[in-house]
Amino acid sequence: GDSVTQMEGPVTLSEEAFLTINCTYTATGYPSLFWYVQYPGEGLQLLLKATKADDKGSNKGFEATYRKETTSFHLEKGSVQVSDSAVYFCALSERGGGADGLTFGKGTHLIIQP
């Protein structure tokens, strides 16, 4: 079945550092890919998405490119802030349709130190 693997945390960085959180997936066909973020005490918020190969999703300075050849969707940000501290989840939707449940990775806890 489908699966998502992301780097284990916690990941600790200093403010203004470059961020990469790795995500790879296994799926049949052409899934849609997502990054969600969960701030302390809150629900999952959609951060960005990509629906086909070579698409780049971006939002709030975060970017991720759908790489079919390496089955990856790594999350990057050029300069992180303390407010980016949260848990980040990579997820896929196998068929991209409304009925489709999302398959999630385990989440990566990001800690940004001032």
Per CB under 8 A, residues contacting other proteins are 32, 34, 36, 41-46, 49, 51, 89, 91, 93, 96-107
Q: Are strands 86-93 and 62-65 parallel, antiparallel or unpaired?
A: unpaired
The minimum distance between CB 56 and other proteins, in angstroms, equals: 15
CA angle 46, 48, 54 (to 5 degrees): 150
Give the nearer residue to other proteins in terms of CB position, either 21 or 93: 93
Q: How far is the CB of 113 from other proteins (least distance, A)?
A: 24
Instruction: Kindly tell me which of 1 and 114 has the beta carbon lying closer to other proteins.
Output: 1
Which residues share a beta bridge with 16? none
SS3 83: helix
Nearest to 104 by CA among 90, 94, 93: 90
Question: Contact, 113 vs 14, CB < 8 A?
Answer: yes
18 vs 52, which CB is nearer to other proteins? 52
When the beta carbons of 13 and 96 are compared against other proteins, the nearer one is: 96
What is the nearest approach in angstroms of other proteins to the Cβ of residue 18? 27
CB of 21 to other proteins, least distance (A): 16
Integer Cα distance of 109 and 39 in angstroms: 10
